[in-house]
Amino acid sequence: MEKKTEATVKRKKGHYDMFDSSTVPDDLCPIATDIIVMRTGEWRAERPVVMRSKCVKCATCWAFCPVQCIEEKPLWFEADLSRCKGCGICATECPHHAIIMVEEKE
Ligand code: SF4
Ligand code: SF4
């Protein structure tokens, strides 16, 4: 019978406290379950620029962004550039051609 620890109780509830490694169950990879702050924007070659007058806030870019870094502003959507990795998917998928990719300068 499984020993009832705080970790097993949390696992049964489907909740893991990511900052406390003692709560990560033995059957999960500890590396994959650790929080690593990924600043994916640091190695970007291009950045998306939203032409605000063309954005109709349809949220297509938000739905397609693989790192979920598109944020809603009062009248448009735009990327959080600290996490945007510059893949250009948002620009390709925007049905209103409101996003262009521009080269990052050093
Ligand atoms: S997909 Fe284009 S039009 Fe839609 S919210 Fe994003 S930038 Fe705006
Ligand atoms: S360029 Fe890629 S990572 Fe950046 S906002 Fe667009 S879809 Fe997201």
**pLDDT of the residue at 9:** 46
Is the CB of residue 45 less than 8 Å from the CB of residue 62? no
Q: 10-24, 39-53, 88-102 — which one is most confidently predicted on average?
A: 88-102
Residue 94 has pLDDT above 90, yes or no: yes
pTM equals 0.69
Q: Which atom of ligand 1 is nearest to the CA of 93?
A: 1
The binding-site residues of ligand 2, defined as CB within 6 angstroms of any ligand atom, are 48, 65, 67, 69-70, 79, 84-90
Calculate how far, in angstroms, residue 65's C-alpha sits from the geometric centre of ligand 2: 5
Calculate how far, in angstroms, residue 43's C-alpha sits from the geometric centre of ligand 1: 24
**pLDDT of the residue at 100:** 98
CA distance 103 to 83: 16
Q: Identify the CA nearest to 44 among candidates 98, 90, 87.
A: 87
